[in-house]
Structure 1
Amino acid sequence: MTRSEDAVFLKLDDVKKSYDQKSLVVKGFDIAVEQGEFITLLGPSGSGKTTVLMMLAGFESVTSGTISIRGKSINKTAPYKRNIGMVFQNYALFPHMTVAENLAYPLSVRGMSKADQKARIAEYLKLVELDDFGHRYPGQLSGGQMQRVALARAMIFEPTLILMDEPLGALDKKLREQMQYEITRLHEKLGFTVIYVTHDQAEALSMSDRIAVFNDGVVQQCAPPAELYERPVNAFVAEFIGENNFVEGHVERIEGGRAVVSVKGGGQIVAEAAQGLEASGRCIVSIRPEKLFIHPTSHDHDNEIEATFVARIYVGDFIRYYFRLSDGSEIVVKVLNDLSAPEFGEGDQGRLQWLISDSIAFPHDGEMPDTTG
């Protein structure tokens, strides 16, 4: 998506960060963010995403490049002058202050009158559905309630931008999903701009307008969730976003943007050709587990490969089938838990089928994608 200069609210232009003046932690980050966008920085530990957030907040200096809001550089602007709200994983609430006093703090340092503070606090407590909790202390709240207070405190002074650093990392799964909904609801209602850091792919996919996937200080791809999932630009993004199978092979030829691939053990498959794929080179073909079908099936298909059944894992709403290909590699199929779910015995042969459009052939450098960071 092309963004006009007039629509740009926040811009990072070739931003780099080095702590020792030798190696770069962030290696030239570019992004243009519109007012009200929800942008997630996603990647493994040590990939550079939190460093970008700290530079935005002003807690870390920029080695080179420019960060600007509404066309004005904030590189040399002190953190307290940036008008940015922050939400942390550990809540960062003042334990000796009540909820109301925690919310009053950013208002009082900005010189708001007591009467206006009281009205604003009541408004934001209602917004996060904690109307009757103003008198309580953080130690008297649950994790989810504390995170709501932290979120209200970040929003209450109406900042130009809100930064969130793994804000839900300390919560259990059910509470985490509830807070994902709460943050999304408040974002849609108030329209504030968010830069959100997480290593949780599902969280990023469910909440973001766009996601920037980091690896080793470099943004691999920045795109809307569906585009990242369905059309990753390289094998790292394909592996890091969601779950994927990789089948190794050799490119026989490329025709009309599609690669004809011979696979180990014999046979050919056809996949969409990723950028940079060369004819007669090695490749890995990615196929999502839910895009695979087990013969017999009524689904259309272009490709078929034989595999040996290994195991069947019941997950509840779906079933995971594990197969082994002739080269010894494993492939996973996800099937809805309904009457069509097939039965296999260990060692049975199966035929796995899929569409060309549901597979992508990436260049293969000899190592499988590493997403551990």
Structure 2
Amino acid sequence: MTTDGAPDFLRFANIQKSYDQKTLVVKDFNLDVAKGEFLTLLGPSGSGKTTVLMMMAGFESVTSGDILLDGHPITRTAPYKRNIGMVFQNYALFPHMSIAENLAYPLKVRKMPKADVSERVERYLKLIELDGFGGRTPGQLSGGQRQRVALARALIFSPSLVLMDEPLGALDKKLREQMQLEITRLHKKLGFTVIYVTHDQTEALTMSDRIAVFDDGVVQQCAAPDVLYEQPANAFVADFIGENNFMPGTVVGHDGDTVRVKISTGEEIVTRRADCDTVGSPCKVAVRPEKLFILPSDHAYDNTITATFSVRLYVGDFIRYFFDLPDGTEIVVKVLNDHAAPQFAEGEQAKLISRQHDCFAFAAKS
């Protein structure tokens, strides 16, 4: 069963992958996916996320373990028999075919009656808001339009599952954001199951029901976007998802789920315990720039940090303030760009405040 109690639709059971029979690029991957779920595999280059997608598609063999789709093992099933749609970064459309012919191709391969093919092609052209474009070739469309056609072609034969490998990587920022909304709209309308691969954390947070964060072939955490952001399981997730300040310190006490940490200013701050609570052990305290505030402030707080101001950067809708701790650690605070945004002289000391709920203590080694 998946974490929310929905029945398993897709299951990865003890999946491992090695290309040389020595080094594992995917290590003991276990995950259940519910029908209709949008799951994103997120991680840096070389972390193993694309390898998992290629094994799911059947383009890479599985070294050990099993993949089950709708209760049936498909680990040794040929790719063309898996009934899976694929969307790639480079569109993979046939340049010599019209848009309508591109959409019709997977239906003709499955020997669908001609009348049904025409009706479904027209329906999907309308669905992606390209009705009237069926006679054009891919070269006559914009990048965003071509990617919508690629998406429609992956969906038109009603696949069991849709795999997307960095599908928006070739688009500029504005088009990318438009296509994120388009894919999300189609997913909600049609209810298909998605495994989506990206290294773009904003894209993952925006589109996903759950995100599996990869590093070195291992899933570090798999959870809903808000849980990953607000409750990272370890320092890698805290650093990879969004932006975080990390302050070196030493654990001086703990009580249940909270830890007291002494930082280089000599001040003690209270944090939530992540993977660190041994008194005397080195640790690092993570707190996000938007969760830090500068005194005086209307925000409630538990912790105070004395820091030295270095520089102020104007970013438009907000301002980034950079401070230094005595050990040289740089701290960033994000402040909304309004009349209350403070002014500092270089070298001036300030008091930074935070809630203990917004701070996490991680083991220094992590």
Same fold (TM over 0.5): yes
Letter in structure 1 aligned against 2:51? T
Task: Give the match's secondary structure for 1:25.
Answer: strand
Task: Give the match's secondary structure for 2:24.
Answer: coil
Q: What TM-score do you get using the length of structure 1 for normalisation? A: 0.96
Corresponding position: 1:71 with 2:74 = no
Corresponding position: 1:229 with 2:229 = yes
Q: Please give the alpha-carbon distance, in whole angstroms, between the structure 1 residues aligned to 2:280 and 2:309.
A: 31
Task: Give the match's secondary structure for 1:153.
Answer: helix
2:243–2:288 CA contact under 8 A, matched in 1: yes
The answer for unaligned runs of 5 or more in structure 1 is none
Corresponding position: 1:120 with 2:120 = yes
Q: Please give the alpha-carbon distance, in whole angstroms, between the structure 2 residues aligned to 1:298 and 1:203.
A: 32
> C-alpha displacement at 1:329, in angstroms?
1.0
Letter in structure 2 aligned against 1:303? N
1:212–1:219 CA contact under 8 A, matched in 2: yes
The answer for unaligned runs of 5 or more in structure 2 is none
Letter in structure 2 aligned against 1:47? S
Corresponding position: 1:2 with 2:3 = yes
Letter in structure 2 aligned against 1:92? A
Letter in structure 1 aligned against 2:198? T
> C-alpha displacement at 1:3, in angstroms?
5.2
1:74–1:82 CA contact under 8 A, matched in 2: yes
Q: Please give the alpha-carbon distance, in whole angstroms, between the structure 2 residues aligned to 1:177 and 1:278.
A: 44
Q: Please give the alpha-carbon distance, in whole angstroms, between the structure 2 residues aligned to 1:273 and 1:148.
A: 44
1:281 aligned partner:
281
2:327 aligned partner:
327
Tell me the alpha carbon deviations over residues 200-220 of structure 1, each in whole angstroms, 9 at most, x when there is no partner.
Answer: 000000000000000000000
Tell me the alpha carbon deviations over residues 46-83 of structure 1, each in whole angstroms, 9 at most, x when there is no partner.
Answer: 00000000000000011001100111100110000000
> C-alpha displacement at 1:279, in angstroms?
2.2
Corresponding position: 1:46 with 2:39 = no
Corresponding position: 1:338 with 2:312 = no
Q: Tell which deviates more after alignment, 14-23 or 337-346.
A: 337-346
Q: Please give the alpha-carbon distance, in whole angstroms, between the structure 1 residues aligned to 2:150 and 2:122.
A: 15
Corresponding position: 1:184 with 2:207 = no
Letter in structure 1 aligned against 2:109? V
> C-alpha displacement at 1:326, in angstroms?
1.3
Q: Please give the alpha-carbon distance, in whole angstroms, between the structure 1 residues aligned to 2:13 and 2:256.
A: 35
Give me the CA root mean square deviation: 1.0
Letter in structure 2 aligned against 1:2? T
1:95–1:138 CA contact under 8 A, matched in 2: yes
> C-alpha displacement at 1:295, in angstroms?
0.7
Q: Please give the alpha-carbon distance, in whole angstroms, between the structure 2 residues aligned to 1:241 and 1:91.
A: 28
Corresponding position: 1:357 with 2:357 = yes
Tell me the alpha carbon deviations over residues 131-175 of structure 1, each in whole angstroms, 9 at most, x when there is no partner.
Answer: 011111111111000000000000000000000000000100010
Tell me the alpha carbon deviations over residues 242-289 of structure 1, each in whole angstroms, 9 at most, x when there is no partner.
Answer: 000000000011112111111123111110111354222110000000
Letter in structure 1 aligned against 2:230? E
Q: Please give the alpha-carbon distance, in whole angstroms, between the structure 2 residues aligned to 1:279 and 1:306.
A: 23
2:55 aligned partner:
55
> C-alpha displacement at 1:310, in angstroms?
1.0
Q: Please give the alpha-carbon distance, in whole angstroms, between the structure 1 residues aligned to 2:335 and 2:281.
A: 33
1:80 aligned partner:
80
Corresponding position: 1:156 with 2:156 = yes
Q: Please give the alpha-carbon distance, in whole angstroms, between the structure 2 residues aligned to 1:237 and 1:16.
A: 22
Corresponding position: 1:135 with 2:140 = no
Tell me the alpha carbon deviations over residues 215-248 of structure 1, each in whole angstroms, 9 at most, x when there is no partner.
Answer: 0000000000000000000000000000000000
2:257 aligned partner:
257
Tell me the alpha carbon deviations over residues 7-37 of structure 1, each in whole angstroms, 9 at most, x when there is no partner.
Answer: 1100001101000100100001111111000
1:312 aligned partner:
312
2:274–2:362 CA contact under 8 A, matched in 1: yes
Letter in structure 2 aligned against 1:130? L
